[in-house]
A and B are shown apart, each in its own frame.
Chain A
Amino acid sequence: MSQTNIAVNLILKKLAETTGKAKIKVRKASEVLLSPLDTELSKTPYEVVYKEDRVGLKYYKPSEVKHKYPLLIVYALINRETMLDLQPGRSVVQTFLDSGLEVYMVDWGYPTRKDKYVTIDDHVNGYMDNIVDFIRKKHGLPQINLMGICMGGAFCVMYSALHPEKIKNLVTTVTPTNFDTDKGLLHVWMKYTDAFLMGESYGNMPGDLMNLGFLLLNPARLILDKYVGFFENMDDKDFVENFIRMEKWIFDSPDVPAATFHQFVTDCYRKNLLIQNKLELNGRRVDLKNITMPLLNFYGQYDHLVPPEACELLTKAVGSKDTEDICLKTGHIGIYVSSKCQREFGPKIIKWLKEREGEPKTDKSPETSRTPSGSKIRRETVKYVSPKKIIGKESKPASPDLKKAK
């Protein structure tokens, strides 16, 4: 047996130093945790201008309106729309308002047992259609701009295909439309398990159960390492405030109506009907060729929930000639909350919408190329980072934009 060479004295010395540092850290941490903390989400003022059942419509008014068409944002039924207005300096909504864009945002509320029979059709052709009509009427406009996030993006795609005359421009962000991929674990699990049965068993699909499922997507980082990071940095007030804000958002998960969850799992994840133009809502076929308005499609290169393979087919499937794919080097939530994406994501949408209002361009357009189908695709010119590094970076506990499944 070979003789090992372990410097025990060095290890003990280091241990003594660490213990000393830990003592100081704990004292500082207790001061931080016991002091008043600013962890409030969604601070930008808004007004609820429309209400139907549990669904509300938030209206954010800019100090000066500079855009002709207002923007309606439709968030997913999973987690809450507060993510777009997480904190000052990290708010997509604030970026839009600063540019003079009027923003409306759907607040799906908290479904109760009463909502268990509510289907995708009720969301798309019911609540969404009523909201779009309300905004059109309020502004005296035939069309408005529409932006969707994740599952909300899929709803926007369905809506735009069924009511193209009401939509001026469509922006989809991390929106799954092609479900026939095994790249994301969520796609695998939804395909090979009967998860939708739980929705029926519990009345609705419980938000807490979904959160548990999302944590299980990367247990080492999301259940363990994240909190180790918190303990390491809990003497830093800014870090603690950002961390708690993110925790509040992550675990604020409304239940998903059972009928909607069932339909989304079976028709989308299992049968992949949407991208094949075979999905039907209340007997009406959703034909993506009807989407003839300009389409801007964002997705994250390292998104483990809605991988690029689930997003990038959309621009080729629609009827519009004016389409653009933008793949950012980030994950599912990073698009909205990471500092780098904050500088690119919001401003790009503003510029893209402005260009399609018929007004003169204000700055140089980004580096783009056209795909054979006619759609433009823009890749970031940021230095390439390997996926492994990205996983580590995204899950880095010190960062408040910790990735969480949605």
Chain B
Amino acid sequence: MDQDQKKETAIGSLFAQWTKSQADLWEDMIRMQFGMSDASEKSRKNPLHQTQKAYESGSKILGALISTLSEPENLESALKGMDSLPEFMMHITQQAYEGYLEFQKKIVEIAAKIGQHTEAYKFEGIDQNIFKVWRDIYEKEFRQYLNVPQLGLNRFHQERIARLIDTLNIFQASLNEFIYMFYIPIEKSGAVMQEKIEQLAEKGEIHDNFKEYYNMWIKTLEGHYMTLLKSPEYAEVMNNTINALVQYREAKQEVLYDILKEFPIPTNKDMDELYNDLYILKKKVSDLSRKLEESRGV
């Protein structure tokens, strides 16, 4: 038996003694609290006696559990189970941290490109990576935690709230991308204007009327927007934003319906059902009236 094994045995024996003393302590505590009551038939119906019994039963289970733990092999297995908790936490933290690092790396890559030449009237391959990266990371790393199956009585409510958080995140990411895309023509026309002014200055043709520059800028900006708005990239981003908005609104309404159910007011869902019935009825009445008029020869 080497030194390590001896040490482990000593710790195991110490733990077994401690658990036994814990079990004894709980038994004594129960006995002390209820020790004064008698054991007659009458007193057995007494609520105090029933409580004592429940405590005794509970303490016995607790004692049994503690005694079980005092067995070295059981203790080892329990400790192994406990080991998995920090491992699980580690896993989550690692994934989140890796995601964050990846995100930061992309930001640095994009930041490095700042100042590079921006080509006027070109919208193919716009660098929206930052939004795509965030979305990718969110979808791969974080979203899964919101999709963990919910349990128990409130599982449906929890699922709805998780979906609301998820759709809100996606909508915000899509909206940011959309807004960024809308900003690009402003950036590009600024660059074009800078070039134009430089050219005018070189020729000594600088205008003294600010309106001339404004007209030049607005025309350039309009041209950039026209190019952007026709591009398939823009249509795709717009479509993503629309879909994300629709899904977020749907999720939000589901949560709202849950809340509003507790109040004596009808929800849109209730009203829509009613409106649909009304619509069908009106249509039937209108058809029947028409048929009646036709049969009368009106």
Q: Interface on A for B, CB 8 Å cutoff?
A: 2, 4-7, 10-11, 13-15, 18, 113-114, 116-118, 122, 126, 185, 188-189, 192-195, 197-198, 200-203, 216-221, 224-225, 228, 391-392
Contacts and interface: CB of A to CB of B under 8 A. Distances in A.
A83 to B, nearest CB: 25
29 contacts: A4-B201, A4-B202, A5-B201, A5-B206, A6-B204, A6-B206, A7-B208, A10-B208, A11-B206, A13-B208, A14-B209, A114-B275, A185-B229, A185-B230, A188-B235, A192-B239, A193-B239, A193-B242, A194-B246, A195-B242, A197-B242, A198-B245, A201-B250, A218-B222, A218-B225, A219-B225, A220-B218, A220-B222, A224-B218
Given A118-B279, A189-B238, A192-B236, 13 more contacts: A2-B202, A4-B201, A5-B201, A113-B271, A114-B275, A117-B276, A194-B246, A197-B242, A197-B243, A198-B245, A202-B249, A203-B272, A218-B226
Contacts of A201: 245-246, 249-250
Interface in B249-298: 249-250, 268, 271-272, 275-276, 278-279, 283, 286
B218 to A, nearest CB: 5
Interface of B: 182, 185, 201-202, 204, 206, 208-210, 214, 218-219, 221-222, 225-226, 229-230, 232, 235-236, 238-239, 242-243, 245-246, 249-250, 268, 271-272, 275-276, 278-279, 283, 286
Given A14-B208, A118-B279, A219 B246 contact: no
A265 to B, nearest CB: 12
A219 B182 contact: yes
Nearest to A192: B235
Ordered nearest first, which 3 A-B pairs have the shortest CB separation? A5-B204, A4-B201, A220-B222
Contacts, number: 89
A131 to B, nearest CB: 14
Contact of B272 (A14, A113, A194, A218): A113
**From A7, A188, A193, A220, residue with most partner B Cβ within 10 Å:** A220
B229 A216 contact: yes
Contacts of A194: 239, 242-243, 246
Contacts of A116: 272, 275
B278 A6 contact: no
B235 A189 contact: yes
A226 to B, nearest CB: 11
B266 to A, nearest CB: 11
Contacts of B204: 4-6
A216 B268 CA distance: 30
A193 B275 CA distance: 28
Contact of A188 (B210, B230, B268, B286): B230
A113 B267 CA distance: 12
Contact of B225 (A11, A122, A195, A220): A220
A200 B249 CA distance: 11
Contacts of A11: 206, 208
Nearest to A221: B222
Contacts of A225: 218
A185 B226 CA distance: 9
Given A201-B250, A228-B214, A220 B230 contact: no
Contacts of B225: 218-220
A192 B276 CA distance: 30
A10 B206 CA distance: 10
A27 B281 CA distance: 61
Given A6-B206, A114-B275, A201-B250, A126 B286 contact: yes
A257 to B, nearest CB: 10
A193 B238 contact: yes
B171 to A, nearest CB: 12
A215 B264 CA distance: 41
Contacts of A202: 249
Contacts of A117: 275-276, 279
A190 to B, nearest CB: 10
Contact of B268 (A113, A126, A198): A113
